[in-house]
Each structure stands twice: as structure tokens, then as C-alpha cells.
Structure 1
Amino acid sequence: MDKIFLIEWSELLIPTHSLAEIVIRGTVMYLALFLILRFVMLRQSSTIGIADILVIVLMADAAQNGFAKEYKSVTEGVLLVLTIVFWDIFLNWLSYHFKIFERLLAPAPLVLIDNGKMNRRNMRSQFITEEELRGQLRQQGVSDMSEVKHAHLEANGEISVVKMDSNDDSAGKRKKPI
């Protein structure tokens, strides 16, 4: 019965691992997973950015470490979560203030349609089928591909469409329905 109310304060609050090691582990894991998601799993998310998903997953896992036997103190779990949040904020700050980091951390928009013609090479590289592209165009109110001046796959996974002006449209061109 006395075990129910017994609190091991030293295990709860005093770290059992080096605090520097926890910061280094959090840093290495965040950067490694970010690079993997950035360069291997390109544009797989939709409206939430890759870094946002990464932070949510890592924070959940890091917070769990504070409850598990792997880390015995809450301090270690909190420090790991704070390390992950620090790197997310710091990388966002870097990309906002320095264009070189913005180019490195966020992919540039990828051209899918240029002047009414599909860029099949770019579509193939991102595994976007013609039917998927046509479906996205229909959702944006475009009934014919010849109406599209440019369509880009954005960094967040969405497709942005710029329609042709009436001056851009070639007179007498036969329109192929989507």
C-alpha cells in the first residue's frame, strides 16, 4: 500500500543522462529526419509543411521519453522537446532572414504546366498522373488545359494555377476538354 503514494523525487527530477548528450541527440535526429523528409520524401504533405509534421512527430516521441523508463527524469524529456522546438524555430528564422537558407530548406515551385502544355518530366519525378493533374485543375475551375498559363507544384504539396489572359490565348486554337 505504501508503494502507491511513494514518489522517487530523485528519479523524477534529476537527469540520469548527460544534458549535453540529450541536446546533441535531439539536434542530430531533427536534422537527419529533416534532410530525409526534404530530399527523399519530396512534397508528400499537403497543407501542413514537412517541418511542421516532423516537429509534431518528434515532440510526441520526445515527450514520451519523459514518461518511459528509457529516461527516468522529466527534465530529460522536457529538454529533448525544447531542443526539437529550438531547431524548428531556428531553421524557420534562418530561412526568413537569409535567402540561401530559404532555398535550401524549402523546395522551389515545380512547373507542371507551361503555356497549356504539361511538363511530363516534372510530373513523372513527383509521381503525378495526368488524371490527377486534370482533377486538380477542375477543382480550381479550369475546364481546359489550354486555359492554363502556368501550374506549379508548391512546396506545401498544393498545385497553384495561373490562367491565361484573354490576350495570351491563341485565336482559333482548338481546346481539348479536360
Structure 2
Amino acid sequence: MEEQSLTQNMKKEEIQITDWQRILLGQAPFEFLLEVVVRTLIIYVVLVLAMRVLGKRMNAQLSVAELSVMIMLGGIVSVPMQVPNRGLLHGMLVLSCMVGMYRGINWLAYRFRRVEQLTQGNLHIIVADGVLNLQAMHRVRLSRQQLFSYLRAAHMQQLGQVKRVYLEANGKFSIYPQEPPRPGLSLLPEKDPAIREAEPADHTVKVCQQCGHPEAADHKPWQCPHCGHQHWANGVCKL
């Protein structure tokens, strides 16, 4: 009967805006606050042990599969901590099943390349030899300005300084510089004309304003052979 009274739906007339006991404590007795503390400590210890079992990857940058596991962990532990008529063993059982499932999927991903690609994702080549891979950017929903901001944070000023940019399966960017750098499309923001005008231009090289594909100025085609864009700019060198 007590469990039923804790879980029954409240009637409209029972809801009072000044009922501070219900607002602060809910329908559970005051003593349940102490039980919540005990439940939280137990769940915390179990969760730390589970994270140890899941491995060090859970403490690093997460893949899609690992992020899904983290979200599931939050959902699993919240109910046993807060609901008085739910025991801890049910949550621990669900948590154990989830840990076992995660370890099993990781084992399959280690054995089978296809499973690894499905669960962990794959890398994408975003920039190759100073030219944007627009198709890959469209697949991963990455805008030019987002990419340019990452490159600027890596101290790149123009695309000719970039040999490769990989978008890893965990969502991080790996950037490999071009040595020596070549003239390329400026990465500096158009809203800062003072710094853009200070960039040394190479008038012998034209670059596509859409993808950064370079062409000799005296043999520049009408449209970019890489992306079909028709607007060109002078290649710029590093400041």
C-alpha cells in the first residue's frame, strides 16, 4: 500500500503552488533523503567500477558508440538513486548487461572490420594538398567556416599550408602541414579586411574561392575543374 501511494498519480485539486513540502520533498517521506544519499554513494562506487571495466577510452574523446553508452549510464543510474520503490539490484543488473554488451561489441569490432566501421565510424579526408573535399564536408555536415576556424586555431593562415586534414572517427581533427607551404586560399575571416589586405598575394597563382583548387594565373579555366565554381582569387602566402 505504501508503494502504491508513492507511485499513484496526483489529482488536479491536490496540486497547490504553496505546498512547499511536496515541491521540495515530493511524495516521499523526509527520511528518504538520507536513503538517497546512501543510494547515491552505492551507485557512484558501482559506476566508477563500471567505468574501469569499460576501459580508458571512456575517459578520452568519445566515439558515437561510446557517447551512447555514457548517455545510457545516466539513464540507468538515475532511477535507482531517486525512486523509493525501486531497488538498487535492478539498476545494477541493467548496468552489468550494458557493460557486457559494450565489451562484446568491442570484441566484435576488433575481430571484424565491418563491425568496427558500423559502431566506431570511419575517418574522412577533409583537405588534400590544400584543396577542400566538399563532398566529404557535405557528408559530415561540416561548413567551410567551421573548418576554417579549426585551421586558424592550428595557426594555419591559408590552405597552401595544409597537406592533409582528417576528421577522425571520434570527431577530432588531425592536421598535417604542407612543407614547404604553397600559395593557397586565405583562411582569415572576411570581416577582418585589415589583416586580409596585409597578406602577401602571389599573382602567378589563382585559387578557387569555393574549394581552394590552384591554377596558374595565365592558364586559369573558366570554372574550377574540382568543384565547378566560377570565382577565383589570387593565391596568398603566409604572413
Same fold (TM over 0.5): yes
**2:146 maps to which residue?**
132
One-letter amino acid of the counterpart of residue 154, structure 1 = E
More strand by share: 2
1:51 corresponds in structure 2 to: 65
Please list every run of at least 4 consecutive aligned residues from structure 1 whose deviation after the TM superposition is greater than 6 angstroms. Answer: none
Amino acid at match of 1:60: G
Residue 71 of structure 1, CA deviation? 7.1
Task: Choose 132-141 or 93-102, whichever is displaced more.
Answer: 93-102
Residue 75 of structure 2: aligned partner: 61
Deviation at 1:123, TM superposition (A): 1.4
User: What letter corresponds to residue 176 of structure 1 in structure 2?
Assistant: V
2:190 matched to 1:176? Answer: no
Structure 2 residue 217 is matched with structure 1 residue 157: no
Is residue 151–residue 159 contact of structure 1 (8 Å, CA) maintained in 2? yes
In structure 2, do the counterparts of structure 1 residues 142 and 61 end up closer, same or farther at CA, with 3 Å as the change threshold? same
- Describe the SS at the equivalent of 2:118: helix
Map residues 85-104 of structure 1 onto 2, 5 A cutoff: 85-104=99-118
The runs of 5 or more residues in structure 1 that have no matched partner are: 6-45
Q: TM-score, normalised by structure 2?
A: 0.48
Residues 79 and 123 (structure 1 numbering): CA distance in 2 closer, same or farther, change over 3 Å?
A: same
Q: Is there any run of 5+ residues in structure 2 with no aligned partner, and where?
A: 1-28, 33-59, 184-203, 206-233
How much identity, in percent, do the aligned residues show?
A: 20
- 1:114-125 pair list within 5 angstroms: 114-125=128-139
Residues 169 and 56 (structure 1), Cα distance of their counterparts in 2 relative to 1, 3 Å cut: same
Question: Could you say what the CA RMSD is over the residues aligned between the two structures, in angstroms?
Answer: 3.2
